[in-house]
Amino acid sequence: MNMMKIGTRTFVYILCVVVLIVSVALRRAAVNRERAATPASYITEIGKYGKPVTVITVEPAVFGMKRKFTVIPVSKTKFEGYVTRGMASILRQGQIVDTLNGQSGKAGWISYLSPEMDMMSGLYKLEVEFGRPVICEKGKLLVEASIDEKKNIIEVPNDALDTEQGRFYLWKVIKGKAHKVEVDLSARSGYSSIVSKGLSKDDILIITGRSRLEEGDKVRIMNKEDNKHQEK
């Protein structure tokens, strides 16, 4: 009886060992298969879908040409100041001006513009009036006059520009690929630039993701209307 119990116990032990060995072998085989498989990594995603970028569609617009100048109060509704010859040549009597310096939204007009230069200062005197009182706490007021409008102006954010040895470049998406193009600028401010050559209406301009790009790279557009842009 004891011999039978010993034999049964030995058989159970052997069975457990066999099961353990088989389990380890199966797990090792599964791990080897996983290692042999191509991982779904960032690199493979890039190869399949392209490098991620965000874009905007180029849409020419009307660009208002404005000039700023400073005036000082004579009364609550009347201000006066002096401007250069160049400024005086583009301003006119009766022209509408808008207040700045936290006073935005209050419109006035140039009530007087001297036709002659002041011999002492070499400047031209002007006066600005408002239909209602304007508070001028700092003793002077910055105003802005619209002098001209230009149509079909292409304005781009400066963040989209690359600069190399004094030349300016932008990245465009053409048929799903990135292409670097040189552009000419006609004006720049602290935030944007006016492109006079190198961009056209409906071009797809890359804004972010440029640092990882090389000429001809396939790109994946990550912002709105990606399917529409990707087909271009």
**170-187, pLDDT tens digit by residue?**
999 999 999 999 999 988
Residue 97 has what DSSP assignment?
E
* 178 and 130 fall within a common domain: no
* 71 and 182 fall within a common domain: no
* 144 and 165 fall within a common domain: no
Domain region containing 18: 2-37
* 170 and 135 fall within a common domain: no
* 52 and 117 fall within a common domain: no
Residue 42 within any structural domain of the chain: no
Enclosing H/E stretch for 127: strand 124-130
Give the position of tokens 């090389």: 214
Decide which of 127, 149, 171 is a domain's last residue.
149
Kindly give, in sequence order, each residue whose CB lies less than 8 Å from that of residue 129, ignoring residues fewer than 6 positions away.
77, 78, 79, 108, 109, 111
* 169 and 140 fall within a common domain: no
* 53 and 72 fall within a common domain: no
Contact (CB, 8 A) for 77 and 130 = yes
Ranges 31-35, 75-79, 95-99, 168-172: which has the least confidence: 31-35
Residue 139 within any structural domain of the chain: yes
**pTM as predicted:** 0.54
- Reference 182, options 194, 193, 197; nearest CA is 197
Q: What's the one-letter identity of residue 13?
A: Y
Q: How many domains does the chain have?
A: 3
Contact (CB, 8 A) for 188 and 158 = yes
Q: Is the dihedral of CA 152, 158, 160, 166 positive or negative?
A: positive
Q: What is the CATH number of the domain that holds 72?
A: 2.40.30.170
How many CA atoms within 13 Å lie on the side-chain side of 144?
Answer: 14
Give the mean pLDDT of 96-108. 77
Name the average pLDDT for the chain: 83
For residue 194, count CB atoms less than 10 angstroms from its CB and return exposed for 0-12, middle for 13-18, buried for 19 or more: middle
Residue 155 within any structural domain of the chain: no
Decide which of 121, 149, 177 is a domain's last residue.
149
d(CA 127, CA 131): 14
Write down the pLDDT at residue 30.
67
